Amino acid sequence: MIRVGIGYDAHPFATDRRLMLGGIEIPFHLGLAGHSDADVLLHAVCDALLGAIAAGDLGTFYPDTDSRYRGIESVRLLEEVYERVVKKGYRLANLDTVLIVEQPRLAAHLPRMKQSIAKVLKVKESAISVKVKSNERMGFVGRGEGIAAQAVCSLEECEMSDRKRE
């Protein structure tokens, strides 16, 4: 059985914050506002994974009203979400993502993001796609107020022996 999930997230820029995208720090004078480290890309990935197993969204498990998650690294959230996927009997077949941003320029950082995500999800890098697009100066992203991200994933059912290894 194949399952498909879609995720979306957006965060405004904020001062005095690190910019975390795809599990890596990006050198930039602004970060993203949020309860966690605000890694908009990983949040979209988490929502896609949770959607594929019909488990709600990231806020269902990690509400921004819970102080335990203040400042948490989104890599940890992704690890825990993927653990839920595996416990349900699935593994990632592929992941396609897009960051929507005007600044900073991210093309040079995409290989490291892809590598970081593949490592957390325990898949080959060839199963992960990370792209970047501008919003052509339209909307909040186009005005340089923040970053948005989308993710689509497909999961395949695991054999019982695969679940024990994960």
- CA–CA separation, 94 and 50 (whole Å): 14
CATH of the domain at 78: 3.30.1330.50
Read off the pLDDT of residues 101-115 as tens digits, 9 standing for 90 and up: 999 999 999 999 999
Residue 34 has pLDDT above 60, yes or no: yes
Strands 128-133 and 90-100: parallel
Residue 161 has pLDDT above 90, yes or no: no
Mean pLDDT score, 27-31: 97
**3-class secondary-structure state, position 146:** strand
Residue 162: pLDDT band (50, 70, 90) is low
Residue 129: pLDDT band (50, 70, 90) is very high
Q: How many domains does the chain have?
A: 1
Residue ranges making up the domain that contains 68: 2-165
- CA–CA separation, 111 and 153 (whole Å): 19
